[in-house]
Amino acid sequence: MRGTKFSVIGMGKYGRSIAQILSDRGAEVIAIDNREELVEEVEDFVALAVTMDATDGKALESQNINECDAVVVAIGANFEALLLCCFQLKELGVKRIIARSNDENQKAILQKMGIEEILEPEKEIGVYVAEQLINPNIVSFLQLPDDYEVAEIKPPKDIAERTVEEIGLRNKYRLNLITVKRCFEEDRGDAVEVVQHILGVPTSDTIIKETDTLIVFGTSRDIKRFIEINS
């Protein structure tokens, strides 16, 4: 999605993969690391590659970091540096900070700092993180050969309360709707619990609700086009 701007701090294998996929998807990416050799390795595919100390607030400010849609702090080897970097980003008013955590203790500390979006590299591969940054409507996806994928997506706002036939997923967007996940309230005796169920095979008359999750099959390009047109 063009027009989006991200910064990725920490050009180890994990941060580099996120930066590369964001760039491949058309986003403007600022790549930052204090190791010049790693910065040189990414400068050909990002908009800007900078060698600097990301714990230095003035250095971060000089890159207009607060203008980014999101900043990913992917520093892996030095948790103290990651914390200082997150602190400086919050001081600069960065609106969305996504930080890496290597274990539950680090995750708890980041949460105490008010960092709500935390990456766990052993659970979340870089391509998944980048995909969600570019398309927040995508809940999860399975990448298949030839650029096809099965994706769980939140319904874009313009399709809520419309039937599958009215939306025209197959004819207009070249997407196949596999099924729909829907939330239902269930009485558990002492409390009412919201539970998500699969609706089965959707029909042309199935009405899509705002809170549904759609499971669709198609090319990455067609899925993104569907989201962009209807958002």
Contact 40, 49 (CB under 8 A): yes
Q: Residue by residue, what is the 3-state secondary structure of 16-27?
A: HHHHHHHHHCCC
Give domain 138-230's CATH superfamily: Regulator of K+ conductance, C-terminal domain (3.30.70.1450)
What is the pLDDT, as a whole number, of residue 98? 93
In DSSP terms, which residues pair with 210 in a beta bridge? none
Question: Are 215 and 138 a contacting pair, CB within 8 Å?
Answer: no
Q: Alpha-carbon distance 150 to 214, whole Å?
A: 10
Where along the chain do its domains lie?
Answer: 5-134, 138-230
5-134 maps to CATH 3.10.20.30: no
The two beta strands, 97-100 and 148-153, are: unpaired
Q: What is the residue-level pLDDT of the chain in tens, covering all 231 positions?
A: 456 899 999 999 999 999 998 998 888 999 999 999 999 999 999 999 999 999 999 999 999 999 999 999 999 889 999 999 999 999 999 989 999 998 899 999 999 999 988 888 765 566 667 777 777 777 666 777 788 888 888 888 889 899 999 999 999 999 999 999 998 888 877 788 888 889 888 999 999 999 999 999 999 889 888 988 887
> For residue 125, what are its two tokens?
């591969």
For residue 120, the tally of other CB atoms under 10 A from its CB is: 13
Write the single-letter amino acid at 3. G
φ and ψ at residue 32, rounded to 5 degrees = -130, 135
Q: What is the DSSP string of 65-86?
A: GGGSSEEEE---S-HHHHHHHH
- Using CA atoms, how far residue 95 sits from 9, 49, 66, 81, 155, in Å, is 16, 21, 7, 20, 24
Q: In this structure, are residues 177 and 214 in contact, taking their beta carbons and an 8 Å threshold?
A: yes
pLDDT score, position 124: 58
What is the C-alpha separation between 195 and 184, in angstroms, rounded? 5
